[in-house]
A and B are shown apart, each in its own frame.
Chain A
């Protein structure tokens, strides 16, 4: 291969390859940084792993009079259908409240012990972003997965435990413990084990799987049929849509404004990151074009040599190999350097992030690497095929 390379490297234009190298480097760095920055930002924004970002929780305003007059703050079927018909709504689900009494006991011998009245709610399972194995209830089983509001933990840790000199509890410790749940209603009593699968900062409710709720409401509800929901969970296509705010105002509905704003920020950021990444892709495609032109020119200039090699018995694969190795090698070099640059830039902005969020858990660079490697593979396959086709055209030229 050595002599073949000695022949075929004639006419290689260093400036052209340097040009390709830097152009492609810029493109790939932009793409990788885009992917990585978005990942890192999501870690900042979305501490809540159970709810996806674009969900809004909507309820009716409770006015001072409403409490006295007993006016309904529930959503009727008509209300839901009206909301469903709005163009900004992708998907809608109702909160189903429990129609029975729930009592929870939490007991660690000689350590902490408390018991409280509480309630359950459920939303359709596709709004909950937990592995389906963990978020699953089998009828008749005594094991109930539960998601608690993060506020509860904060109340305990920073209020109750602090005041009473009790030890603080982390999410991890609580996840390993069981809540004893007692359910009464319809003249029946049931004992269950509550398994805490997580804490949500977006949902101010105690969430159980839909299946459990359906079953328990049948089993323990005292007579009267399913209640109308008081809260709705809505997936919107674009949280920046003005129609959302005006619709909510017109109907005296409320939603968590903070979350709407956060969703807006995320949405806008996603658009910006997408634009930046498209620019990166365009630069990469153009640089790929430079590379291909430059390789074609090289093949053209060395066509006599290539032809003679083919005629003395070198196979097209062997003759193509040096140029294929050259292009793939350049691509690999670009990727490695791009990852290094990305890590350096990331180091700078992560330092700034950490000033604001000291206990930030940053995600790995797995996804950016995956995108980079995929890009490398696709571009390399194109390079390999293009060089091979060019060599084959030399083989056939004499026809």
Chain B
């Protein structure tokens, strides 16, 4: 997967609104590999909707979303499973972790599926992000900021062409945000992948190629 295109895409809920001023909705937008994008948004402008449309679990929009020129509405279940395993990684704003499992298990459940990272690499990331003491803590028992870091590690446990991070640093201090940025860029560079980050205020400091206002 080399290119994501949005052609006149608009969430159904915005259909009757005439005051939409956006760099994304109702425009022609392209995201390419190896580039870094920032999507800045105010609350209620459809940031999470954008994630869910591109990730294929919601389809309540007008217009088209194309991967390499192919309309993703036509994708089969098998195709989506393959994309979520091998081509597209998403760090959700709401994280979507499993509170019953430990931090390590939350990462491992993904890595077991893809077999992409070594145990050493994962442990190194836990170390770098300062949460190695939480390895065996139940996910439900650690702070949201710590969960955010675990979620990033999980998102990196798969091969990807694009990494989509939805407000990744909303609960992190600057030092941890910087480390997170480093790790993300490093992994994306290794795979020649593109990064799309969103924010509603504080955004992660990366060398952005393009900034959109949602």
- Give me the interface of A with B, judged by CB distance under 8 Å: 3-4, 6-7, 10, 305, 308-309, 311-316, 392, 395, 398-399
B100 touches A313 (CB 8 A): no
A308 touches B59 (CB 8 A): no
Given known A10-B100, A398-B52, contact A313–B58 (CB-CB < 8 A): no
B55 / chain A contacts, CB cutoff of 8 Å: 311
With beta carbons under 8 angstroms apart, the residue of B58, B98, B105, B112 that contacts A308 is B98
**What is the total of A-B residue contacts with beta carbons within 8 Å?**
54
B101-135 CB mask vs A (1 if < 8 Å, else 0) is: 10001001110111000000000000000000000
A305 touches B77 (CB 8 A): no
Q: A311-B84, A312-B96, A399-B58 are in contact. List 17 more A-B contacts (CB 8 A).
A: A3-B105, A3-B108, A4-B109, A6-B101, A6-B105, A7-B101, A305-B100, A309-B109, A313-B81, A313-B84, A313-B85, A313-B113, A313-B114, A314-B81, A315-B81, A395-B77, A398-B52
B105 / chain A contacts, CB cutoff of 8 Å: 3, 6
In Å, the complex CA distance between A4 and B96 comes to 15
In Å, the complex CA distance between A30 and B54 comes to 55
B57 touches A311 (CB 8 A): yes
In Å, the complex CA distance between A114 and B108 comes to 89
B100 touches A312 (CB 8 A): no
A10 / chain B contacts, CB cutoff of 8 Å: 100
A395 / chain B contacts, CB cutoff of 8 Å: 77
B60 touches A399 (CB 8 A): yes
A308 / chain B contacts, CB cutoff of 8 Å: 96-98
B84 touches A7 (CB 8 A): no
B113 touches A7 (CB 8 A): no
B96 / chain A contacts, CB cutoff of 8 Å: 308, 311-312
A316 / chain B contacts, CB cutoff of 8 Å: 77, 81
B57 / chain A contacts, CB cutoff of 8 Å: 311, 398
A7 touches B100 (CB 8 A): yes
A399 touches B59 (CB 8 A): yes
The answer to whether the Cβ of B158 comes within 8 Å of any Cβ in the partner chain is yes
B45 to chain A, nearest CB (A): 20
B93 to chain A, nearest CB (A): 13
Task: Determine the interface band of chain B, counting residues with CB < 8 A from chain A.
Answer: 20 to 34
With beta carbons under 8 angstroms apart, the residue of A305, A315, A392, A399 that contacts B98 is A305
- Give me the interface of B with A, judged by CB distance under 8 Å: 52, 55, 57-60, 77-78, 81, 84-85, 90, 96-98, 100-101, 105, 108-110, 112-114, 154, 158
* CB closest chain-A residue, reference B155: A312
B109 touches A3 (CB 8 A): yes
In Å, the complex CA distance between A308 and B113 comes to 14
* CB closest chain-A residue, reference B81: A315
The 4 A-B residue pairs with the shortest CB-CB distance in the complex, in nearest-first order: A313-B85, A313-B84, A315-B81, A3-B109
In Å, the complex CA distance between A308 and B57 comes to 11
In Å, the complex CA distance between A7 and B98 comes to 8
In Å, the complex CA distance between A6 and B106 comes to 12
A315 touches B59 (CB 8 A): no
B77 touches A312 (CB 8 A): no
Q: What are 28 A-to-B residue pairs whose CB atoms are below 8 Å? A: A3-B101, A3-B108, A4-B109, A6-B101, A10-B100, A305-B98, A308-B96, A308-B98, A309-B109, A311-B55, A311-B57, A311-B90, A312-B84, A312-B96, A312-B109, A312-B110, A312-B113, A312-B154, A313-B81, A313-B84, A313-B85, A313-B113, A313-B158, A314-B81, A392-B77, A398-B52, A398-B58, A399-B59
B78 / chain A contacts, CB cutoff of 8 Å: 315
A313 / chain B contacts, CB cutoff of 8 Å: 81, 84-85, 110, 113-114, 158
In Å, the complex CA distance between A316 and B84 comes to 13
B89 to chain A, nearest CB (A): 9
* CB closest chain-B residue, reference A318: B113
A399 / chain B contacts, CB cutoff of 8 Å: 58-60
In Å, the complex CA distance between A308 and B154 comes to 13
Q: Which of B108, B109, B154 has the most CB of A within 10 A?
A: B109
A7 / chain B contacts, CB cutoff of 8 Å: 98, 100-101, 109
A314 touches B113 (CB 8 A): yes
A315 / chain B contacts, CB cutoff of 8 Å: 77-78, 81
B109 / chain A contacts, CB cutoff of 8 Å: 3-4, 7, 309, 312
A4 / chain B contacts, CB cutoff of 8 Å: 109
* CB closest chain-A residue, reference B112: A3
B77 / chain A contacts, CB cutoff of 8 Å: 315-316, 392, 395
In Å, the complex CA distance between A313 and B82 comes to 7
